[in-house]
Structure 1
């Protein structure tokens, strides 16, 4: 059930507001495509992972969000209020259908997402800016949620940091400098001996080597293995750099990114002819497949 909640909500929101989106501003349409849909995918993923890892959310219900929604509904222009009411009805139905009385985590996230969309289409002078601020707030919340999950995973490897380093070092063929190694060249560590590589350099090198295995002929099963390994590496990296908020935040972003890619390719596999087990050649799949930043 959880796998579709936020993505499905946003589709309903966009449908309810399609006339406003179509007639008023390309900015709002772009906001859905560039910000709201990607955020919904992440929220779906984190909510599902919270369930999978038995993470109990203890947050209280944020009454301010509901007050903000009520204020927006009572002060907006009459011609837009019709669309905001439709979105509010979708929000309330989602709460009724999916949220138990004590699940404040889901209720907060549904309300926060709803408010972001309502602010975007309210057509007030600062509506887009307010919506972007709300989405940024939700992104920060999402990373806090992911932090909890990754910390739960890290509990299993706590005290085994040297084993993690050795796991990342397996990507080193030898400890000597490698001036012809493309990944080392890209990371500007071609002349650096393996024994002097930092944890973050080992992590980036492992990421580059795994991604370099991908091309348009890679089987879906192999793609899943690679992205799964990259997500595991990100969790290990988060444990290694837990005392560095900046590096841990990057590892958590990677953990989410590769988890979402695994989820995407699982859906491809479930709807694909397994006898061929080859990725279809289209631009969209190539962009998702070859992410070699």
Structure 2
């Protein structure tokens, strides 16, 4: 049995199918993890979502910012943006089932046996492992509740930009969401810069990649994340693994086998649709 973590799909089903063939994926034995942003910007968002849902207990998924954006739009609290390729999902006959399945996915997954934690954007330096799991569950509880509309109505926004234990209500949930699904740069106090989105050398003064600071997560615990294509899969740290290698932008789709940390990549050969 092998466990593979795959970076941001963003609706690129055909490269995924080629990657699974390349790694000789065996559904009866292997498990797939997906590091969020399953959909959007790519040409096959609907089929990608259907495929991952069909895997059932053979997969582990965490939500990314694009997945949450789709849910917010579906619930009437978001607006489609230029470049979004979500219309097929929103018009699908099985839309309600897909949205219900999606909002019941976590923001964080931890496997104690493998000692690996997966979130879409990473783990901020100010959070311990246990704290990360607990805070993710706060958002998951809201997503899966009857008051989920309240969450989506307040999800968008860049503030508060710094974690404080005494944050409450929707401000607290928005901040947790931003750390787990949108984080790239922060300062030494874990204050977020959510406007800088390119490579490591583009940080604003006083800010650096979140993984450049000492972490409260033990070093023997491996962190896997996606979200940041400009990193090209590189953090220079053996226990922190960046897996978004820009498939939707003409890069490649990457899988990491957790048992031995070997990487596998498949070039993207399809053209991204534009609205």
Smaller-chain TM-score bracket: under 0.3
In terms of Rg, which structure is larger?
1
Greater relative contact order (Cα < 8 A, sep 6+): 2
TM-score of the superposed pair, with normalisation by structure 2 = 0.27
TM-score of the superposed pair, with normalisation by structure 1 = 0.26
Instruction: Considering fraction of residues, name the structure with more strand.
Output: 2
